[in-house]
Amino acid sequence: MEKNATGIKYAYSISEPQSQSLPDNLVPVYEGWQSLCGKRPHPEWNEWDWALVPPELVPWCTVVDVIPYPLDFVYRMCGEKRIKLYGHDYTGSSVFEVKPAFLSNKILEEYVAVKERGAPIFVSTTGMNMNPTESYGFLRLPFGKQGRIGQILGIGVHLDDKIDRIRALYAAESIPDPDSCF
């Protein structure tokens, strides 16, 4: 899917995660999540073990609570690097409050895809008109009870030295200065 927002053209795809095609540091996370599932479609949030997440990825994580009616996704947790990237701590806020609006819409599409599929997704995003192009991946894992998704864990695969490039991908002029968050 290709999008164009505020002069930044980007493409992204949503797929079912496969261990052999995930970035290496996401494989143990995904396989750990799968082992917690057992015969269920997804584990319960209280079963999650943060030791499954490589320490360098924890600051990039988000967790949202799924609000079924009206449908919303409220941030339960935003990791420190995610806060720096967004320029704001959205903990306790709806995904609809994320700025810029097109980023909110992209995130919403991803959460809705998880909810509708009832399964994890892997999102690959590439900035098309950046020189050089910039790409990153995002794994979204559902948690819940009795087939109903209650939480979604998001883990972005970013390099710390690429924050400015990724902010540029999302039209950084509309994202607050990251140093103003702390």
Q: How do residues 78-110 score in pLDDT, each as one tens digit?
A: 999 888 888 889 999 999 999 888 788 889 999
- Give tens-digit pLDDT for 112-138: 999 999 999 998 776 655 555 666 778
Domains of the chain: 2-181 (3.30.450.20)
Query: Could you give the C-alpha distances from 148 to 27, 32, 68, in angstroms and in order?
Result: 25, 20, 9
Residue that is written with structure tokens 């930044």 in the block? 8
